[in-house]
Amino acid sequence: MDNNKSRFSFHSFWTPSRTLKIALFATGLSGIVAEYILSTLATYFLGDSVKQFTLIVSVMLFSMGLGSRLSQFFKKNLIELFIACELILSLLVSFCSLLTYGIASVSEWIGIVIYTLSILIGLLIGFEIPLVTRINENYEELRFNISSVMEKDYYGSLVGGMFFAFIGLPFIGLTYTPFILGIINFLVGVLVLFTLSPLFEGNWQRNLKGISLLVLGVIIFGLVGAKPIVRYGEQKRYTDKIVYEEQSRYQKIVMTQYKNDYWLYLNSHLQFSTFDEWLYHEPLVHPVMQFANKSENQSKKEGKLDVLILGGGDGCAAREVLKYNNINSITLVDLDPAMTKLGKQNPIIKKVNQNSLNNKRVKVYNNDAFTFLADSMVFYDVMIVDFPDPKTIEVNRLYTLEFYQLCYQHLRPQGIFVTQAGSPYYAAKAFDCIETTMQAAGFETLPMHNQVLTMGEWGWIVGNKTLKSQELKKAMQSLKINNIETKWLNNDAMLQITSFGKQWKTNEQQIDKVEVNTIHNPVLYRYYHEGNWYVY
For residues 248 and 359, state if they share a domain. Answer: no
In CATH, what number is assigned to the domain containing residue 395? 3.40.50.150
The reply to whether 534 falls in a domain is no
Q: Report which of residues 139 and 25 the model is more confident about.
A: 25
* CATH code of 83's domain: 1.20.1250.20
Same-domain check for residues 136 and 246: no
Q: Rounded to whole angstroms, how far apart are CA atoms 13 and 471?
A: 80
pLDDT of residue 315: 97
- Rounded to two decimals, what is the model's pTM? 0.84
Q: Do 183 and 96 share a structural domain?
A: yes
Does 287 share its domain with 424? yes
Last residue of a domain, one of 215, 235, 255: 235
**239 φ, ψ to 5°?**
-70, -40
Which domain, by its residues, includes 248?
241-270
- Answer yes or no: is 294 within a domain: yes
User: Concatenated DSSP letters for 412-437?
Assistant: EEEEEEEEE---TTTTHHHHHHHHHH
- Residue 292: HSE in the Cβ half-sphere, 13 Å Cα cutoff: 33
- My answer on whether 376 and 318 are in the same domain is yes
Tell me which residue of 126, 105, 104, 94 sits closest to 42, measured CA to CA: 104
User: Is 535 a member of any domain?
Assistant: no
Residues 185 and 263 in one domain: no
Task: Show which residues are catalytic.
Answer: 386
281 and 261 within one domain: no
452 close to 276: Cβ distance less than 8 angstroms: yes
Q: Is residue 492 part of a domain?
A: yes
Residue 380: how many other CB atoms lie within 10 Å? 24
pLDDT for residue 249:
87
pLDDT digit string (tens) for 324-369? Answer: 999 999 999 999 999 999 999 999 999 999 999 999 999 999 999 9
Per the domain annotation, does 312 fall within a domain? yes
Is residue 505 included in any domain, yes or no?
yes
**CA distance linking residue 87 with residue 192, whole number of Å:** 11
What is the band of 90 on the pLDDT scale with cuts at 50, 70, 90? very high
Asked whether residue 144 is assigned to any structural domain, the reply reads yes
pLDDT, mean over the chain: 89
Q: H-helix or E-strand containing 241?
A: strand 241-247
Residue 304 scores a pLDDT above 70? yes
Give per-residue pLDDT as tens, 451-460. Answer: 999 999 999 9
Class of residue 359 by CB neighbours under 10 A (exposed 0-12, middle 13-18, buried 19+): middle
**Domain assignment present for 258:** yes
pLDDT of residue 108: 82
Q: At residue 120, does pLDDT exceed 90?
A: yes
Boundary of a domain, candidates 235, 254, 285: 235
Q: Given this model, what pLDDT does residue 102 score?
A: 87
User: Within this chain, do residues 364 and 480 fall inside the same structural domain, yes or no?
Assistant: yes
What integer pLDDT is reported at residue 512 of this predicted model? 61
Identify the pLDDT of residue 301. Answer: 52
Which helix H or strand E contains 471, and what residues bound it?
helix 469-477
**Mean pLDDT for the stretch of residues 81-110:** 90
pLDDT band for 296, please (50, 70, 90 cuts). Answer: low
pLDDT of residue 8: 38
Residues 354 and 448 in one domain: yes
Gap between the Cα atoms of 219 and 98, Å rounded: 12
Average pLDDT over residues 163-186: 92
**193 contacts: CB under 8 Å, gap ≥ 6:** 83, 205, 208, 209, 212
283 and 260: one domain? no
Phi, psi angles (nearest 5°) of residue 519: -60, -40
Pick the last residue of a domain from 270, 288, 313: 270
Q: 142 with 214, same domain?
A: yes
The model's confidence at residue 507, banded by pLDDT at 50, 70 and 90, is very low
Domain count, the chain: 3
* Model confidence pLDDT, tens digit, residues 6-33: 443 445 556 778 888 888 898 889 889 9
**Could you tell me if 419 and 511 lie in one domain?**
yes
Top-confidence range, 106-110, 294-298, 359-363, 525-529 = 359-363
